[in-house]
Amino acid sequence: MNIRKIEQEEYWKVRAQHYNELQWANEKQYLNAVVEAGDFRPNHLVLDVGTGTGIVLHAIAPKVNEIIGLDISQAMLEHSNWQNNKYFVKRDIREPFFHESVFDRIVARMVFHHIIEDIQKAADECYRILKLGGKFILSEGIPPNKQVKKDYIEIFKLKEKRITFMLEDLVEMIIKAGFRNIQTSTFVMPRMSINNWLEKSGLPAKTQDKIFEMHICASDCFKKAYNMKIIRGDCLIDIKYVILIGEK
């Protein structure tokens, strides 16, 4: 294993412990929006890329014949429940594993921002293993507008190594992979608790405090863009997610 892979495994080992308690990851309306975008049918074979603890996979599973979760992190996969029509594979999406044109649907929620090297390879691989006429459903959190992108990057710098996308970056990436008939939608999750997000992050207490303070002390423009509210010692913000559908 190279150093980056060891670092990744260590990072997810810490995050896996409380991942299933994250408010945003379990939020029903966001999950439903991703599931609806997939337009799943019982005969579909589905791949959930970067499945993590399988939250998205478990939401899709009742609708389809078979679904496979793929993830690089053993620790995240170990925090999932294995059941009849669900399989989990420990792989990196950038490393070809499946045959070409196998899946009817491929889903990737909140995964691509973690692929900081060779991201195009990941999108290209999703395209390669999808059947002709199949759909790729990609979802990512993005800054609420371009003005606050810089602050967003500064805050996330303390949390993790990641890519900050705007919608157009994601569109460009999937078009480059070969996807067509791109549809995009936005989902705004209201009142996400910064306390929940930080407490379940596995970050050292000092870093959590710093990130919390950066929210409280942010510019008026930032507070407005996030519709920030301070309630009983918590900071609540509206988070913007985009959902893209691309067809092969």
Q: Verify binding: residue 51, ligand SAM, rule CB under 6 A.
A: yes
Q: Verify binding: residue 138, ligand SAM, rule CB under 6 A.
A: no
**Most distant CA pair in the chain, distance:** 53
Q: Which stretch binds ligand SAM (CB under 6 A): 96-104, 106-114, 142-150, 233-241?
A: 106-114
Taking CB under 6 A as the criterion, the residue among 59, 73, 208, 243 binding ligand SAM is 73
Output 137 or 225, the one with its CB closest to ligand SAM. 137
Q: Which stretch binds ligand SAM (CB under 6 A): 49-57, 141-149, 177-185, 212-220?
A: 49-57
Distance CA 6, CA 141 (A): 26
Taking CB under 6 A as the criterion, the residue among 67, 68, 72, 235 binding ligand SAM is 72
CB of 4 to ligand SAM, least distance (A): 10
Distance CA 68, CA 87 (A): 5
Output 56 or 129, the one with its CB closest to ligand SAM. 56
Pairing assessment for the beta strands 180-193 and 234-247 based on DSSP bridges: antiparallel
CB of 25 to ligand SAM, least distance (A): 5
Taking CB under 6 A as the criterion, the residue among 105, 109, 200, 215 binding ligand SAM is 109
CB of 222 to ligand SAM, least distance (A): 23
CB of 48 to ligand SAM, least distance (A): 7
Q: Is 145 exposed, middle or buried (0-12, 13-18, 19+ CB in 10 A)?
A: middle
Look up tokens 């939401």; give the residue. 59
Q: Is the dihedral of CA 8, 49, 94, 139 positive or negative?
A: negative
Q: Verify binding: residue 76, ligand SAM, rule CB under 6 A.
A: yes
Taking CB under 6 A as the criterion, the residue among 59, 60, 61, 93 binding ligand SAM is 93
Q: Could you give the C-alpha distances from 177 to 26, 60, 120, 123, 206, in angstroms and in order?
A: 30, 25, 7, 6, 41
Taking CB under 6 A as the criterion, the residue among 60, 64, 106, 110 binding ligand SAM is 110
Contact positions vs ligand SAM (CB under 6 A) = 12, 25, 50-52, 55-56, 70-73, 76, 92-94, 109-111, 114-115
